[in-house]
Structure 1
Amino acid sequence: MNKSIATRPNPWSFLPFALTIFTSAFLLFQVQPLLSKQILPWFGGSPAVWTTAMLFFQTLLCLGYLYAHALAKVPSRQTQARIHVFLLVLAALLASRVLPGTELRPESPDSPVFQVLLILGASVGLPYFCLATTGPLVQHWFTSTAHASSVFRLYALSNVGSFLALLSFPYVLEPWLEQQEMGQLWTAGFWVFALLCLPVALGAWQNKVQIGAASHGDGPDSSSPVAAEQLGHPAQTSLRQRFSWVALPALASLVFIAATDQISHDVAPEPRLWISTLGLYLVTFILTFDHPRWYRPKLFAILSLVLLLATAGISDIPRWLGIEWDYGVNEVRWSHFALLFVVCMLCHGELYRRRPVDTRRLTEFYLCMSVGGAFGGLFVTLVATQWFDDYHEWLMALILVALLACHVLFRSDSQRPGLAGRLVGVFTAIVMVALLAVMQNPWSWREVRKADRTEVLLDQDRNFYGTVSVKERRFLNEPERNDRVFFSGNVTHGQQFLSESLRHVPTTYYARDSGIGETLLWAMSQKPNLSVALIGLGAGTLANFAREADAYDFYEINPAAVRFAQEWFDNLASCKAREQNILLGDARLRMEQLPKDKRYDVIVLDAFTGGSVPIHLLTREAFQIYRDHLQPDGYIAINITNAYLNLYPVVKAQSEGLGMAFRHKSQAADEVRNVRRNLHFIMTQDQAYLKAYPSVNREVRDAAGRFLRHEPQDQPGLRLWTDQFSSIAPIAK
C-alpha cells in the first residue's frame, strides 16, 4: 500500500494569510465607528444610528460571505483569483473617499433607517464588501496549504484584529486625529490590505503538499468524505447542523444587542458601553475558535443558568431571601457584562463544536454564521423597534438562553439520555422560564406600589430615537405632591405637579433659582418681549416662563416626545407666549435653515442629561450656528447636567472660541420642590448680568452634611470640539 508523502511546510507561508486576515478584520471594525460618527449629526445624534449601522455592516458581511461561498464553488483556482483581483482593484479605487460628503446629507427627517443604509452603501459599500469576503475566502484558500490544520485559528486571529480596532478607535485615534485624517489613514490601510491580498489570491504563497495537504492534525485527511466518516462526522452536512450554524450565532447576537440596550435602559446609555459589550462578544469568538480547551460545555451551561437568575433577579432574589440589599449602577452593569460573556461563550463554544470537519464546507459554515449574526440587528431594528413599546427582546433572549443551557447541561454526548434525564431537563427548563417570566415581567413596573406612593405607567412609545414614557406618581398622605414624570429611556426629562396651585411651577432642572431660570428672569426684566429657542422639549417645563409678549420656538427631534408633551402635560397648552412653534427635526439642521435675520434673545440647549450625548450639538460649527442666530446681547444657556460626562470644559472652550464671557451655576437637589441636582452654563456678553449672577460651584459634603470642598469642573488643555474632532475619553467620569 502506498503511503502519503508530504513535504515539510514552510513556516513563513502562514504569515501572508495571517497578515491579510488580521488587516481586513482591523479595517472592518475601524470603519464602523468612523462612519457612524460621521453621519451621527445628520440624524440628531440618535443612538439608533449605531444599531442601524450595525444592521448595514452585518448584512453586508452576509453578502460578502455569500460571495466567498459562491466563488469557492468555481472549479478553477485561476478563475477565482481573476474575479477577486478585479474586485480588489475596483474596491481600492472606490476607497479613496470613504467618508460621506455633504451631498449625501439628508434633507428630510423621514425614513431615517433607509437613509442611513443608503448613505453607508454609497460611501463604503464595495470596499466593506471586499473586506467582508476576506475571512472565509482566504481561509478556503488556506486549506490548500500545509498549514490547513490551523484554519480555525485564522478566524480567532481575525477577531483579535476586530477587537484591537475596536479599542484603538476611541483610545488611540479619536483623541488625536480629526475625522478626515482617520478617513485618509483608513484608505491607506485598505490599499495595504489589497497589496497583501493580491499574492494570496494569485496563489503565490500556497506551498502545496503532495498528499494530505488539508488534514486537520493527526489521522486521516479530514477534507475527504471517507476521512470525515472515519472521524465519526457525517460527510454530508445535515439540515439540523446547518440550522445550528445559524441559530447559535443568532442567539449570541440577539443577547449582545439586547444586553447593550438593557444596560442603557436600566442604567443609562453610558459612553463606550457599545465598545465594552462588543468587545466581550468578540473575545468569546477569539477564545472558542482558538482551541477547544477554553470551552467546557457543562461548566458554561451551569454558569449561564446561575447568571440568568442572578441578573434577572438582581432585585427580587435578595428580597425573597429576606436580605436588604441596595444594588447600584455597578452591580447592574457588571452582572449584565458577566452574563453576556458566559452566554456568548456557550453559544460560540457550541458553534465551534459543530464546525464542519470537511473543509470544503468551510465557506458554507461562515455564510450560515454571518446570517445568524445579522439576525440580532435585523430583529431589533426592523421588528422590536417598530412593534415593541419596551425592550421585550431582552426577556425573549433570556428564555432562549435558558433553553439552550438546559439542553447542553442534560444532553449525553455518548448516548441518548434516558427518560429520567430528559424529564429532569424539561422540568428544569420549565422552572427557569417561569422564574425569568416572573422576575423580568416587562409589565411589572407599569404599576408600582411603594410605602408612600403608587406609580402608574400612563403611556409608553418606542421608535428610532428611543423609548419615551409617562408615569403618574400618587402620594398617599400628600396628594398635593402628585405629579407626572416624563422619561426618555430611564432619564427624567420633565415633571409636572397635578395640583392647581403647583401645576405651573417649574421643576426638575429648571426651577426659578436655577442657572437657566435666573437667565430667563433677568432677560425678561431687560426686555418687554423675548424671542426664545428651546432645544429639547421634554415636558415643556420652560414654557411656564413665557409672557404674553414673548415668542417661543421648541426644537424636538422625536415625534413621540412631542405627542407626550401635548397629551399628558399642559405646559404647552397653557403657555402664555403670543407665538409658539414646535419645529420637528434635528435642532442644528432646523436652525441652520432659518432666515439669516432670525435672531433669538435666549437659546437654551437641553439635550445632554443622558449618556448618549448628541455631540454634533456641542461642536464649534454648531455653536457658530447658535451665535449667528443670537442677538448681540443674548444668552446661550446650556444644561450640562450629566452623570457620565464632564461637559464643562467642552462648553467653556466653545465660549472662549466665540469670544463670549460666561458663568455657571450648580444647584443642589430639592425633593419637596421636585428639583433635581443640575449644572448650567451660560454664555453672554451682558456684563451686568454676569455681575448680578456670579458663578456657583457644586459643594461636596460628607454624610453629616458638613462642607468639604467645591467640586472642580474645568479640565485645562481640552482640545476644542469640531465636526471633524471630538473625543469623550478625556471627559468621561
Structure 2
Amino acid sequence: MIIRSLVFGMLASAVVALTASHAADNRTLLESKESLYNNIYVYEEPPSYVSMTFGHNQRIYTESIYNTRDDKDLPVAYTRYMTATLMYAKNVHSILEIGFGGGRTAWYLHRFLPNVSITSVELDPAVLQLAKKYFGIKDEPNFQVVNRDGRLFLQESKDKYDIILIDAYRGPFVPFHLLTKQFYQIVKNHLADGGVVAQNVEPSTMLFDSAVKTINSVFPQLDFFRAEGNIVTIAYDGAERKPEDLAANAQERDRTYGLRYSLSDMLNERRRINLADGSVIDANAKVLTDDFAPVEALKSIQRHNRKLP
C-alpha cells in the first residue's frame, strides 16, 4: 500500500497492540470477563487511567482508555479525530456511534453537546456492563446505549443522523459485515441531509485499500486524518467541503460548544487523496461486498481468537 510511505508516513496499528511482556508493567487487573465475542480485561494504570483491552495469549488490543481525573479527556488520539465530523455536518441534532467500547468518544460528545441526541450501539453486553462499571458512563437524557449489532440496528431503524461514527473492532479487525458496499449503502440511507460518516480503518493490512475503495463506491467525497499512526476516514455525499468552509465551520462550532479538542487544529491534519490515479490506493484492490470475504483476513481473525491451553 503506497499510501503508507507517500502520504501518511509510517503507520501504526489502528488499535494499540501490546505483547505479553506488557503484563510485567505496573498495571493492576481490575476485572476480566470472557464473553461470547471477546476476552475482555480492565486494568487500572497509574496515575489515573483505566483501560479496556481485548485479546488472548500473545497480543492484547487496547479498546478504550479513561482518565478518571478528567472526564473530558480523550487519551487515545484517533478518538479525537472522530469528532472532526462536527465541522463537516450541515446540522448537529443527532449522532449515532457503532462500536461503544469503553464509551469515551460518545461520552465526550455528550458532555460538550448535551442537547444533541446521541445513540451508541454495542454488540457485546459484557462490554456495556464493564463500561458502566469502570468508565464513568451513566444513563442521562439524550444519551442512549443499545445492545445490538450495529448493522442490524440500522437496517431496522427509520431514524436519520447528522453524524454516524463507526468504531467497531475485534482485535485488529473491523467486523467484515461493517466494511462492505451494502453496509455503507445502509449507512448512507440513514444520514440526514448534509450528514457525514467517520470510520477508523486498520491501515496496515491488505484490506485497507479495499476498504477505502469500498467506502468511495458509495460516498464520492473522502477526507483522511492522520492521528498518531491511525487513519480516520470521513466520507460524505455531494460536493466537496472546501477548506475555507470547513475552517469557518470549525471556528464557529469550537466557539459554540467549547470543545476540549479544537476542530480548527484538527483541520491541519486533513488530507485529500485522488483515488482515480491509482498511485496511492491500489487500482487492483477489490470493492468489498457481502458475498466477497477475504479468506486471509478471516484466517487471521480465527488465529487471533483461538484459545490455546
Q: TM-score, normalised by structure 1?
A: 0.31
Deviation digits for residues 629-667 of structure 1 (CA, Å, limit 9, x no counterpart): 111311110011355x24432232223322421111112
Q: Aligned residue for 2:255?
A: none
- What stretches of structure 1 of length at least 5 have no aligned partner? 1-266, 269-327, 333-438, 669-676, 698-711
Deviation digits for residues 219-246 of structure 1 (CA, Å, limit 9, x no counterpart): xxxxxxxxxxxxxxxxxxxxxxxxxxxx
**SS of residue matched to 1:564:** helix
Please list, as runs of the form range in 1=range in 2, the aligned pairs for 1:603-642 lying within 5 A after superposition.
Answer: 603-608=164-169, 610-641=171-202
Please list, as runs of the form range in 1=range in 2, the aligned pairs for 1:708-727 lying within 5 A after superposition.
Answer: 714-727=281-294
Query: 1: distance between equivalents of 2:33 and 2:223?
Result: 37
2:236 alignment partner, one of 684, 689, 706: 684
Deviation digits for residues 256-308 of structure 1 (CA, Å, limit 9, x no counterpart): xxxxxxxxxxx97xxxxxxxxxxxxxxxxxxxxxxxxxxxxxxxxxxxxxxxx
Structure richer in strand, relative to its length: 2
Question: Does the CA-based 8 Å contact 1:634-1:686 persist in structure 2?
Answer: no
CA gap of 1:683–1:609, structure 2 versus 1, over 3 A, is: farther
Q: Aligned residue for 1:491?
A: 61
Residue 94 of structure 2 corresponds to residue 531 of structure 1: yes
Q: Aligned residue for 2:138?
A: 573
Q: Aligned residue for 1:548?
A: 114
**SS of residue matched to 2:143:** strand
**SS of residue matched to 1:517:** helix
Residue 41 of structure 2 corresponds to residue 469 of structure 1: yes
Deviation of the 1:517 alpha carbon:
2.4
Q: Aligned residue for 1:663?
A: 223
Query: 1: distance between equivalents of 2:226 and 2:213?
Result: 19
Deviation digits for residues 436-493 of structure 1 (CA, Å, limit 9, x no counterpart): xxx9xxxx95xx5x4xxx310111100211211110011xxxx4xx200111222101
Query: 2: distance between equivalents of 1:581 and 1:511?
Result: 19
2:161 alignment partner, one of 600, 608, 621: 600
Query: 2: distance between equivalents of 1:690 and 1:611?
Result: 33
Deviation of the 1:606 alpha carbon:
0.7
Query: 2: distance between equivalents of 1:682 and 1:483?
Result: 29
Residue 129 of structure 2 corresponds to residue 563 of structure 1: yes
Query: 2: distance between equivalents of 1:640 and 1:690?
Result: 24
Please list, as runs of the form range in 1=range in 2, the aligned pairs for 1:137-156 lying within 5 A after superposition.
Answer: none
**SS of residue matched to 2:235:** strand
Q: TM-score, normalised by structure 2?
A: 0.71
Aligned partner letter, 1:653 = K
CA gap of 1:549–1:584, structure 2 versus 1, over 3 A, is: same
Question: Does the CA-based 8 Å contact 2:211-2:287 persist in structure 1?
Answer: no
Q: Aligned residue for 1:299?
A: none
Aligned partner letter, 1:554 = S
Query: 2: distance between equivalents of 1:652 and 1:641?
Result: 11
* Percentage of matched positions with identical amino acids: 21
Deviation digits for residues 485-534 of structure 1 (CA, Å, limit 9, x no counterpart): 111222101001122xx33212214453x2x22223x157x53x421111
Q: Aligned residue for 1:709?
A: none
CA gap of 1:650–1:690, structure 2 versus 1, over 3 A, is: farther
Question: Does the CA-based 8 Å contact 2:85-2:197 persist in structure 1?
Answer: no
CA gap of 1:728–1:601, structure 2 versus 1, over 3 A, is: farther
RMSD: 3.2
Q: Aligned residue for 2:71?
A: 503
Aligned partner letter, 2:129 = R
Question: Does the CA-based 8 Å contact 2:101-2:127 persist in structure 1?
Answer: yes
Query: 1: distance between equivalents of 2:288 and 2:154?
Result: 19
**SS of residue matched to 2:63:** strand
Please list, as runs of the form range in 1=range in 2, the aligned pairs for 1:148-297 lying within 5 A after superposition.
Answer: none
**SS of residue matched to 2:153:** helix
User: How many aligned positions are there?
Assistant: 249
Question: Does the CA-based 8 Å contact 1:470-1:486 persist in structure 2?
Answer: yes
CA gap of 1:679–1:646, structure 2 versus 1, over 3 A, is: farther
Aligned partner letter, 2:71 = R
Deviation digits for residues 366-412 of structure 1 (CA, Å, limit 9, x no counterpart): xxxxxxxxxxxxxxxxxxxxxxxxxxxxxxxxxxxxxxxxxxxxxxx
Question: Does the CA-based 8 Å contact 1:536-1:607 persist in structure 2?
Answer: yes
Question: Does the CA-based 8 Å contact 1:660-1:685 persist in structure 2?
Answer: yes
Residue 263 of structure 2 corresponds to residue 695 of structure 1: no
Question: Does the CA-based 8 Å contact 2:168-2:175 persist in structure 1?
Answer: yes
Aligned partner letter, 1:617 = L
CA gap of 1:549–1:728, structure 2 versus 1, over 3 A, is: farther
Question: Does the CA-based 8 Å contact 1:510-1:517 persist in structure 2?
Answer: no
**SS of residue matched to 2:27:** strand
